[in-house]
Amino acid sequence: MRVVGIDPGLRLTGYACLDDLGTTPGGEKARIVEAGVFRLGGGDAEDAMSISARLDELDRDFRSLLDRTKPDAVAVESIFSHYAHPATAIVMGHGRGVVLLAIKQAGLTLVEFKPNLVKKGMTGQGLAKKDQMQRAVQSLFGLAEPPSPPDVADAIAIAWCGLRRLELGAVAHKLLPRS
């Protein structure tokens, strides 16, 4: 199974594509196929701050990623709203909307996670800091360095959580009695 993980943003959107390897002799369960960030708003000065231009760029970059990696599912982080910055959640919702629409139009399975659930799944702590997430991803995947910027580590963690949830769902489906 192949899952793309997305950490949505309107300046940087982290992405990662993971392949589920099952259990191998080396003990690996997943392999990073591709990971990085979409840097949005880097065009001309007039469009650099335009939300619509960033959304258009995100749409093109994300659809290109889907075409290139051909995932079975996409895992996306849900919106987190901090009481001191409510406008951030609204702006983030625009980016998530672009991603969710592309997933639906591509006919892919969508898995959504709250940020604290991803952090808890990766580090054991729902309030883990960015550097803790980076080190946890580095350790899990045996990387020479922590993924940078932190959006990449978050996207890898989101994809990993998506693989685990889909894997557990497949196991549960096999165990359920058939009628």
Sheet bearing 109-113, strands edge to edge: 30-39, 12-20, 2-7, 73-77, 109-113
The two structure tokens encoding residue 95: 């980016």
CA distances from 73 to 1, 105, 168 (A): 8, 13, 14
Look up the CATH number of the domain holding residue 16: 3.30.420.10
**169 Cβ partners below 8 Å, 6+ apart?**
none
**Total of domains in the chain:** 1
Whose tokens are 């599912």? That residue is 73
d(CA 129, CA 119): 9
Per-position pLDDT tens, the chain of length 179: 999 999 998 889 999 999 998 765 555 689 999 999 999 986 555 556 688 999 999 999 999 999 999 999 999 998 766 666 677 777 788 999 999 999 999 999 999 999 999 999 999 999 999 999 999 999 999 999 999 999 999 999 999 999 999 988 765 545 545 54
Q: Which residues are catalytic?
A: 7, 77, 151
| Amino acid at the residue 159 | A
Q: Which domain holds residue 159?
A: 2-175
